[in-house]
Structure 1
Amino acid sequence: MRWVGVATREYRPMFEFLQGVLGLEVAFEEETTAEFATSDGDTVQIMAPGDRTFELFSRNATGPVPLFEVDDVHAAAEELERAGVELVGAPGQDENWEWINFRAPDGNLYELAARRRVPGCGW
């Protein structure tokens, strides 16, 4: 597991808790989202109302959303679909990752993500 996402209406108190109480390092902060790094390099991201992920998580998750890293998110999505697993929302991506959301048999929302390949970099 590499990442945990938390949609919260208590954005500032959660920010202060993760940074001040748990001592996590701020990896980045924007107006409606912030990500914190653990000492092992895993991350916890909080999203406030107005963030693009807040609504998806608020509608589909009852708590934090764990993300598991895979080698190929497209192959993983195909495998989930063949197994009859419900994909939730559109696939997403940023400059480093591509991800999908899905509903597991327990009814909770999870994510799978793969690092994006950068041409010529070998990663």
Structure 2
Amino acid sequence: MKVLNVRWVGVATQDYQAMFDFLYGALGLEAAFTEETTAEFVTAEGDTVQIMAPGNRFFGFFTENASGPVPLFEVDDVHTAMAELRQAGVELVGPLGTDQDWEWINVRAPDGNLYELASRR
């Protein structure tokens, strides 16, 4: 597997509006999209930060499996990454996720934190 970059950070938050105001207002990040329970913000170099509130489909997964923000490493091939990580004895958390642009896996690192690895479809 080849890690290309840290492309995204996911943040499950109980205080959605305050986090929205912090990222958009205080940090000045551009809003890529906003919905009732999630918003994604883009840095000048194209990296993204997504906040998720209760009611969002990923909020429960993140609050049950992570103790803070979850960074996503973009890799060249998530299926290769998954096989290599399994072979290395790394704990995979949950199933392979997909949307129209990405495929991703969640892993528990030795520090106990949750990390995601994803590749573009």
C-alpha displacement of 1:94: 1.1
Which residue is equivalent to 1:40?
Answer: 45
Q: 1:99 aligns with which of 90, 100, 104?
A: 104
5 Å-filtered alignment, 1:1-123, equals 1-116=6-121
Report the aligned-residue RMSD. 0.6
Q: Report how far residue 52 of structure 1 moved.
A: 1.1
How many pairs were matched up?
116
* Higher RCO (C-alpha under 8 Å, 6+ residues apart): 2
What are structure 1's unaligned runs of at least 5 residues?
117-123
Q: Secondary structure of the equivalent of 1:75?
A: helix
User: Aligned partners of 2:96, 2:119: CA distance in 1, in Å?
Assistant: 12
Deviations 1:66-85 (A, max 9, x none): 00000110110111111111
Give 1:89 shift: 1.2
TM-score, normalisation: structure 2 = 0.94
Amino acid aligned to 2:12: A
For residues 70-120 of structure 1, give each alpha carbon's deviation from its aligned partner in whole angstroms, at most 9, with x where no partner exists.
Answer: 01101101111111111011211111111000000000000000011xxxx
Large movers: runs of 4+ above 6 Å:
none
Structure 2: segments with no counterpart, 5+ residues:
1-5
Aligned mates of 2:41, 2:117 — CA distance in 1: 19
TM-score scaled by length of structure 1: 0.92
Q: 1:119 corresponds to which residue? A: none
